[in-house]
């Protein structure tokens, strides 16, 4: 992908394509520069994108997830959503599909596209003044 391409204007590709391959950590670190405030994490050898926010209230956290769920459904790519305590929201994104009996289990371009689209959402009225990473 051309580094000048705006990821938020791209669309996720179906996860059942045989061309879907996990990217290397170096490639992921390069693409990470295009999605502000997301972190690259390695959990037991699986690369994931992670970002956290603080919401104003518990119900604002649920509204936050409703908005993310709508986007995820539209893209056909679904993150893990965590609401910890009453106001700590974390999203983890990685491709964990089985493609032609091969477990992808890592990051693909789809993950960065979804993260970029999440960054474009207007969620400010749900968040506490200062967001966390």
Q: State yes or no: pLDDT of 2 exceeds 50.
A: no
- Note whether 52 and 132 are within 8 A (CB): yes
The per-residue pLDDT for range 3-16, each reduced to its tens digit, is: 445 876 776 665 65
Q: What angle is formed at CA 90 by the lines to CA 61 and CA 67, rounded to 5 degrees?
A: 45
108: part of which helix (H) or strand (E)? none
Mean pLDDT of all residues in 29-42:
95
Q: Which fold has domain 19-125?
A: Gyrase A; domain 2 (3.30.1360)
User: How far apart, in whole angstroms, are the C-alpha atoms of residue 9 and residue 96?
Assistant: 23
Give the start-to-end residue ranges of the domains of the chain.
19-125
- Dihedral (CA of 2, 48, 130, 117) sign: positive
Tokens linked to 1: 């992908």
Confidence (pTM): 0.82
The per-residue pLDDT for range 36-81, each reduced to its tens digit, is: 999 999 988 889 999 999 999 999 999 999 999 999 999 988 999 9
Q: State yes or no: pLDDT of 103 exceeds 50.
A: no
């Amino acid at each position: 992908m051309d580094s000048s391409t705006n990821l938020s204007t791209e669309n996720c590709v179906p996860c059942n394509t045989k061309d879907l391959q996990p990217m290397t950590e170096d490639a992921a670190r390069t693409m990470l520069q295009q999605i502000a405030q997301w972190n690259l994490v390695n959990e037991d050898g699986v690369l994931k994108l992670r970002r956290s926010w603080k919401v104003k209230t518990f119900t604002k956290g649920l509204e936050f997830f409703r908005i993310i769920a709508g986007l995820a459904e539209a893209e056909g790519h679904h993150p893990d959503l965590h609401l910890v305590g009453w106001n700590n929201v974390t999203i983890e994104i990685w491709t964990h599909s089985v493609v032609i009996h091969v477990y992808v289990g890592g990051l693909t371009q789809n993950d960065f596209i979804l993260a970029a689209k999440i960054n474009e959402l207007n969620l400010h009225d749900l968040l506490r003044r200062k967001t966390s990473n």
